[in-house]
Amino acid sequence: AMRKKVYTGKGIGVAVLDTGIFPHIDFGSRIRAFCDFTKGKTGPYDDNGHGTHVSGILGGDGAASDGRYKGAAPGCSIIALKVLDRFGNGSREDVLRAFRWIVNFGQIYNIRVVNISVGMPVKNIENPDEDILVKKVEELWNAGLVVVVAAGNDGPAPHTITSPGTSRKVITVGTGTEAGGEYSGQGPVLGSCVCKPDIIAPATNILSCDNHGKSYKKRSGTSMATPIVSGTIALLLSNEPWLSNRDVKIRLMQNAVDCGMAKSRQGWGLLNPEGMLRIK
């Protein structure tokens, strides 16, 4: 009989720019690198919990829950870059330093995906393309990385996508209106009429790793939807490593499920992992 192929994202490195990572048992030995741009500390830590939660959704293997609470790509490598402090605040400078780190060291860890559940208000409303975060994130994209960014939680008014999710190149992730996702940032992007978000994924009351012991916790926000998409992309790339970031974006678009919402709300529609991985 044919055995169903199991996708885990093994061998694919995902950089997570966040509040850090707690070495939860669900990550095993897959935290391949940790760099703290806020305090310069060594060794993985997370004094907020947000980054650990995001990383769990992305790549936890459920070891602490007998496999019940697994992330999207439980075999991927996590490269945790701490750019946010214990309050979840960060500076553009630290985010840009993390971008440079990825350019310099990305190949060592086979970083193919960059998960940015971090958003800043758009600096230059008239000309969002001039935003420094947008410029620099597009350099990462141009270097061949798949960059996945949260739409932010400043919705549901129009023009509420945070930077660098306003970039036309990156994959910007929002969430639907079901289960109270009304907060999701909405397009279009002012001053450039770029249609955003690109894709939506579940984001409300998501259970994932917490930053102590073997515990789990629920959190909500487009920060939670983003690693679902990043993890699905890690699965895709571990199976079809030759795909370019453009190929990945097209595959996302072609398989998204139309939820009948405005384009400025759902983009192409709901993430469809089975369709993307062609395992239907």
The residues that are catalytic are: 18, 50, 223
Number of other residues whose CB lies within 10 A of the CB of residue 252: 26
Q: For residue 16, give the H/E element and its range.
A: strand 13-18
* Neighbouring-strand partners of residue 199: 173
Is 222 strand, coil or helix?
helix
* Neighbouring-strand partners of residue 17: 81, 116
Angle, alpha carbons 176-177-181 (nearest 5°)? 85
* Neighbouring-strand partners of residue 174: 200
Per DSSP, the residues of 165-179 read: TT-SSSEEEE--SGG
Question: Distance between CA 62 and CA 219 in Å, rounded?
Answer: 17
Q: For residue 100, give the H/E element and its range.
A: helix 92-105
Tokens representing 264? 């400025």
